[in-house]
């Protein structure tokens, strides 16, 4: 597999950049990265990788992206944290064009394996109303009532992968990511997710000597957060497996947003006065990953503790903010 042409769509993004670096570390010699952003704006650039700048919403671009390819990882999407996806539902829905045209191109190109990055946003909102949420099992996506916009696109695209597998024999794999975080991710500008946003806010308070922080929502909403190294391990294991249906890929370590702030304050050795913006986007009240199935099928689950991952993330964002000040 190492010499086969492997294409990472969304290769200029957070997870895609880490995935390319990991594939290179594992000895893959024939790698192609595709992203809509100019290469100068990619989160990471791995030496020895063919980098293409294209908009994969178009069918011709997808055909070019997959020319000569064997393996495809589709991580490309217009997305961000809760603030972005609640205010850009149409843009999030348009990502359906990426997966649709990539599947068509993959079928034409005779692709051996195709990975689709789905999301925990596909889960039924009625099952996420309580902060003391029962962890979500894969079957909880139906009856369907996903996150408006972004979640509907992800759920529809999962079905497209399933039907291309059933009707055309394209070997598709899909994982539902639960809040991936880590170094080399977005930490400012409106697309950042809670772990990076809280790191940034704590660092800003520390640098400014203004010991206060604004939290979106009441702080009681709960989530699980998966460190990027666990995400990469899971992607590659699921891609190589015989798992046909979408599967959870997330940590089962549930925390409230207030507890997440506690962790970052502890890392920063600071205590901040908290104000709560109850009008800000906050998403569902509770969401956690039930890892029964992944443990059964792979004998593994994401297991990097939140405190460990957040320390690495905090240090990286701190360095970025120091550099931007210089």
Residues forming the active site = 150
Separation in Å, CA 56 to CA 8, 37, 40, 126, 155: 12, 11, 18, 33, 19
Separation in Å, CA 13 to CA 34, 209, 314: 10, 33, 19
Rounded distance between C-alpha atoms, residue 105 and residue 129, angstroms: 39
171: alpha, beta or left, given left = phi > 0 and alpha = psi -120 to 50? Answer: beta
β-bridge partners, 52: 34
Q: Taking the C-alpha atoms of 104, 106, 108 and 109 in order, what is their torsion angle to the nearest 10 degrees?
A: 160
Rounded distance between C-alpha atoms, residue 53 and residue 65, angstroms: 9
Tokens matching residue 195: 């772990």
DSSP element (H, E) containing 204: helix 194-208
Contact 52, 32 (CB under 8 A): yes
β-bridge partners, 34: 9, 52
What is the DSSP code (8-state) at residue 122?
G
Question: Residue 97, Cα to own-chain centre: how many angstroms?
Answer: 18
Rounded distance between C-alpha atoms, residue 162 and residue 179, angstroms: 23
């Amino acid at each position: 597999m190492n010499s086969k042409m492997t294409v990472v769509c969304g290769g200029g993004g957070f997870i895609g950049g880490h995935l390319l670096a990991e594939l290179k570390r594992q000895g893959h010699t024939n790698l192609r990265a595709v992203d809509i952003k100019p290469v100068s704006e990619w989160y990471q650039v791995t030496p020895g990788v063919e980098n293409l700048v294209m908009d994969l919403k178009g069918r011709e671009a997808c055909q070019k992206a997959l020319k000569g390819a064997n393996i495809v990882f589709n991580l490309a999407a217009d997305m961000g944290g809760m603030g972005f996806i609640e205010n850009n539902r149409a843009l999030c829905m348009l990502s359906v064009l990426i997966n649709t045209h990539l599947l068509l191109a993959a079928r034409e190109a005779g692709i051996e394996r195709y990975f689709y990055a789905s999301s925990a946003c596909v889960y039924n909102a009625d099952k996420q109303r309580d902060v003391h949420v029962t962890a979500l099992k894969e079957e909880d996506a139906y009856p369907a009532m996903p996150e408006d916009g972004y979640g509907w696109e992800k759920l529809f695209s999962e079905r497209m992968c399933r039907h291309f597998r059933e009707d055309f024999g394209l070997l598709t794999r899909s994982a539902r990511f639960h809040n991936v975080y880590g170094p080399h991710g977005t930490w400012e500008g409106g697309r950042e997710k809670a772990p990076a946003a809280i790191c940034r806010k704590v660092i800003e308070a520390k640098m400014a000597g203004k010991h206060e922080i604004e939290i979106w929502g009441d702080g009681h909403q709960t989530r699980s957060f998966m460190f990027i190294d666990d995400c990469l391990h899971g992607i590659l294991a699921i891609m190589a497996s015989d798992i046909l249906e979408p599967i959870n890929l997330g940590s089962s370590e549930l925390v409230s947003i207030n507890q997440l702030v506690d962790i970052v304050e502890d890392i920063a050795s600071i205590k901040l006065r908290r104000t709560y913006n109850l009008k800000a986007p906050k998403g569902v009240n509770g969401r956690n990953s039930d890892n029964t199935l992944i443990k059964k099928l792979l004998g593994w689950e994401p297991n990097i503790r939140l405190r460990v991952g957040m320390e690495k993330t905090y240090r990286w964002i701190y360095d970025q903010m120091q550099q931007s000040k210089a």
